[in-house]
Structures are given as structure tokens and as C-alpha cells.
Chain A
Amino acid sequence: ELKVEQNPLFLSMQEGKNYTIYCNYSTTSDRLYWYRQDPGKSLESLFVLLSNGAVKQEGRLMASLDTKARLSTLHITAAVHDLSATYFCAGIIQGAQKLVFGQGTRLTINP
């Protein structure tokens, strides 16, 4: 059974700082997804990481995948208030055809 764990679960940071959210998973999951959820809203797809060593960047967010370490990271560069949200990672077992979500990281960026 695939288990996905994120840390930290809560993160409060200052604007302009850099930080990383970690996503560990328990068994083989060669695909990893990152989503963003604003309060009271649905999930917005950020990144789909399809292979070992994959790195994707969009604006101040960069996601990477290390399948050997069973680890994905979401790096935030020079944070701005608009990035305040809850971020979820999700893995998938091939053949299972269903996503397994981490607990979510609630990110608050203070001016």
C-alpha cells in the first residue's frame, strides 16, 4: 500500500525567503503530482513529474523527483504572499489507477 507523507505540515515564512516542502512515499511510485489548494477552493494542478530526476519550474515554484530516494521536493524561491495556500503531493501505484495524497502543507507567507 502506497503511503505519502509531507513535511512540514504547517509552514509560516517571510516574503523573500526560500523554503522547501518534502514529500516522501513508501513504495514505488514513479509518478508524482503537486497540487495547490486555496481556502474554500478546489485543487489546481501544479506539476506532474513523470520520471526519476524530473525537474519542473513555474515562476517561483520548482518541483523535483528522486525515485530512488522516494522523495519529491517543492522549492519556493523568494516567496510572495500570493503563494499562501495548502500544497498537496500525490503518488500513484502503476496499475492501481488512483492517486494517494499526502496530508498537505499549509503555507502562510507573511509580508
Chain B
Amino acid sequence: SAVISQKPSRDICQRGTSLTIQCQVDSQVTMMFWYRQQPGQSLTLIATANQGSEATYESGFVIDKFPISRPNLTFSTLTVSNMSPEDSSIYLCSVAARLWDTEAFFGQGTRLTVV
């Protein structure tokens, strides 16, 4: 299984500011994903982070609000831009060698509170 290090683990931010979350994996992985989990809710996929190219965003999520980078096969960042209290959530990085017949692993999550 992959070991995923996600930073920061939590943060309290002022509205209107931006926060960048880092996801580091201990081995090269094909697939990296970013999820949002609002309080008491399930996981919603924000985007698939593509190595060397623009991320693939899900409906309802846009690059200007959630820019993502993936410079190599072990690292990705998610930025939450121009934050509002509605962005208060847990943000999770997930990785997989391939999804069809293996499992996806999750980082510890970043608990974001916007005040």
C-alpha cells in the first residue's frame, strides 16, 4: 500500500485568502485525486490530478477556484482560492496504481475552517 503524507493536517484561514494543500506519496502512482468532504457528508471528487497537464475537474468545480498541480508521479497540490466559510471542509488526497482492479488509498486529510 502507498504511504501518503498530506500537509497541513488542519488550518484556520481568513475569508478571501488562499490555502495550498500538499500531497506526497512514497512511490510513483498513476492516479491522484482530490476530494472534498463537507461536515457529516460523503466524499465528492473535485478533480483528477494529471501529471504534466491540466487537471480534470468534475462538474461544479473550476480551475480558478481549485487550481491543482502535479509536477511528477509522487506529488500534487490543491489550492483553495479566495476562500469563504462554505469552503470549510476536509480535503483528501487519494492515489491509486489503477482503479479498475486495485484499491485507492487516502491521505490523512486537511481539515479547513474558514472564518
Q: Is the contact region of chain B dominated by helix, strand, or loop, or is it mixed?
A: loop
Chain A contact residue count (CB 8 A cutoff) = 22
Contact indicator A33/B42 (Cβ below 8 Å): no
Tell which of B104, B107, B111 touches A99, judged by Cβ atoms closer than 8 Å.
B104
A21-B63 Cα distance, complex, nearest whole Å: 37
Contact indicator B108/A41 (Cβ below 8 Å): yes
User: B1: which A residues are within 8 A, CB to CB?
Assistant: 45
- A92 proximal to B (CB < 8 A): yes
Contact indicator A92/B107 (Cβ below 8 Å): no
Contact indicator A48/B103 (Cβ below 8 Å): yes
Taking CB as reference atom, which chain A residue is nearest B107?
Answer: A42
Contact indicator B42/A98 (Cβ below 8 Å): no
- How far apart are B79's CB and chain A's nearest CB, in angstroms? 20
